[in-house]
A and B are shown apart, each in its own frame.
Chain A
Amino acid sequence: MELTEKHREYWRKNVVLTTVLLVIWFVVTYIQGWYARELNEITFFGWPLSFYMSAQGSLIIYVLIIWFYARYMNKLDYEYNVHEEEES
């Protein structure tokens, strides 16, 4: 099968989105964890900030990342006409 320029663009957009989301994932996990002692000096509604992030905040961001990825890609499928046929 031959790929059109449009197909390549679809894949490029997918790779860009994947990279951006992974950067966010990396920051809220590893950068945040690396500076945990410093961040814990900051209080966030009663929680030390890094404690809150590692216990709940980052988890919520993970869920949002996946939600956004699914939404964006499902739309992109239609935009580039690579979506699956509806199954009855």
Chain B
Amino acid sequence: MSQAAGFSQRTFNQALKKYYSIYTGGFIAFIILLAIAEQLGLPRKAIGLTFLFATIGLYALIGIMSRTAEVAEYYVAGRRVPAFFNGMATAADWMSAASFIAMAGTLYLAGYDGLSFIMGWTGGYVLVAVFLAPYLRKFGQFTVPDFLGARYGGNIVRTIGVISAITASFVYVVAQIYGVGLITSRFTGLEFGVGVFVGLAGILVCSFLGGMRAVTWTQVAQYVILIIAYLIPIIWLGMKHLSNPVPHFGYGLVMQRLADVEKKIIADPKEAEVRKIAKSRSDAAAAALKSPEKSFADGKAALEKQLSDLKAANAPADQVAGAEKALAAYPKDIEEATKRWTADRGLAPHVAPLRKHAEAYPGKDEEARDVARRNFLGIVICMMFGTAALPHILMRYYTTPSVREARNSVFWTLFFICLLYTSAPVLAVLAKFDVYTNIVGIKHADIPGWLAAWRAVDPDLIRFTDINGDGILQAAEMRIGGDLIVLMTPELAGLPYVISGLVAAGGLAAALSTADGLLLTIANALSHDVYYKMIDPSASTKRRVTVAKALLLVVALVAAWVTSYKPGHILFLVGAAFSLAMSAFFPALVLGIFWKRANKWGAITGMVVGLGVCIYYMLVTYPFLRDVFGITRPIAEYMWFKMNPISAGVFGMPAGFITIVIVSLLTPAPDKETQDFIEHVRYPRLAGDIDTRAT
């Protein structure tokens, strides 16, 4: 281990606590100063930009202070990150833009069924704690493919590990950089492309100079910012609705009131009317759009016939005038008609009845409810086992000083994650109650300015259309985008704009910290596993770090380049990363520690089969991929148990497990050396132990 002489872990811990306390205090003082400046007339855009550049500047500063050219520092932060701080860093590494911005919104929209992500993204740490973290720490090298390579032997396993790690992490990092671009552009008015570039600079300054060491200490700083940003608006909303600054313990009351409001809205005949109009207009438009030319001609002919019929029958003048007016209002040409129909077809989402927040697995019949339940549990399984297989999370447990600290560190990780994850459902309920009581039922003309401002930023965030023309805003006339909930909470709670800026900084911190960890994972897989372990094992340490840094730069640029094409399907990308990781890694890692009989050929075939089954299922059931590969037979024929493509891992992982077991039993047992290796990782200390620690 590369520890400086006379270095003491205890003094280091104390120094860390001191620095981060000062830092947290300083950050709060910074918010207060900005709040005062806002009162004195600092414009909103300036506040947004100040937050953006102040926080990125801060991360850059930490990056520069932690710069290093030592291998162990670069790859595993010198293995001296205390459990508490590694917990914070892992929490920030873990919580992405999706957790921070989109999760509360998903819960708002999906109610109970959205909770699959809450349970899935926390319960996975139980698996990390009991199956992986302590054993990987004892093994003590740099990457996940390292472990596979050492346990099963040979470069084939390592190569499959590298490919899987890169695939899962790359898919995930594109989603993060996309989030960075979105947040920056929304809060500062900068263009999306510029936002991506600014964010990328923020990511690179720290990981490029100091690798894991810089990323670790930046992630701790980012955690502090993101948790403050998430909790302040919730505390305020709690005071507003419950007179309770910790609404986590009392929002059951709000849920009961919310259920009452929901009943009232469902019983409201005006709501039913809106949905009926939306249905007839969107159905008619969808039918018309199937053959626009014919529909356009038919519609026009029908109106003309009506007019001539009325005239021929000597109908009263007002009826004739009405028919003339209808004809005049008819679209002039086919383009205009198509535009109108497209707009009308867009009303389709308004048709769905209001969803009761607490109802689990709603559906029209028993079978639909059963499928909903199956898919809910499928997502929980994938998110949990995916958590326990994502390389950027697992490699964080290489950085603690000991096995003991690795175990404690998983506890701190989940503790810090749960501070945010137990808050998201509270936020969703409070925001929904606020929207249903204070916004639904007002006049369209009275819609608050800040809400209209969000529509101007991005019409996907919020739309309101007076469908039935009564001037009152019905719940069914409003479409809220999932991202809006967290973004608008400060305004909903009546907080000054500086808190909105803070929330943006928090979202940025969440996206940047995850992107940092992912980029490092990809670059390390290339520089350590491919370059050092397979191409040039005699490379000097200086050269290894230089290669790692160069590769990091290349990977970052490629990821930003892919992101600049604005690939859609972000949620699917994130889900796919989890399914891929669990199918490839989880069986090989866990059996590698807990089953001595698992051997090289079992691992090779198991990883390939697991990954293959997972990719196959996504290809044949995900619409976008089906188009790309020209698969035309109906989806239903390919679906297994009606599981959605996002949960493809529920098939891939068991396939991997079964394959490893069968193939291992058919081929010779692993040699004595491998047996010793397994004993080695199972016990924190053994007499006459082998040493696998990397230098």
Contact = CB atoms under 8 A, between A and B. Distances in A.
A46 B380 contact: no
B252 A44 contact: yes
Given A21-B126, A36-B373, A1 B358 contact: no
B112 A54 contact: yes
B123 interface: yes
B407 A62 contact: no
Contacts, number: 147
A82 B685 contact: yes
B178 to A, nearest CB: 28
B685 A58 contact: no
A29 B119 contact: yes
B679 interface: yes
Contact of A37 (B119, B369, B415): B369
B437 interface: no
A53 to B, nearest CB: 9
Nearest to A76: B684
| Interface size bracket, B side | 35 or more
Contacts of A82: 683-686
**Residue among A46, A50, A66, A73 with most chain B CB within 10 A:** A66
Contacts of A59: 118-119, 122-123, 418, 421-422
A60 B118 CA distance: 12
Given A21-B126, A45-B252, A88-B9, A37 B360 contact: yes
B125 interface: yes
Given A11-B682, A22-B126, A74 B377 contact: no
A32 B380 CA distance: 12
Given A46-B255, A55-B115, A77-B684, A62 B373 contact: no
Interface stretch (B44-52, B398-406, B597-605): B398-406
A1 B676 contact: yes
Nearest to A52: B252
Nearest to A2: B688
Nearest to B124: A62
Nearest to B120: A29
A55 to B, nearest CB: 4
Contact of A74 (B361, B373, B404, B679): B404
Contact of B129 (A1, A15, A66): A66
Nearest to B402: A84
B410 interface: yes
* 8 residue pairs, one from A and one from B, having the closest CB atoms: A46-B252, A36-B360, A55-B425, A70-B407, A54-B115, A47-B252, A1-B688, A66-B129
Given A62-B122, A66-B129, 4 more contacts: A55-B115, A56-B425, A62-B418, A84-B684
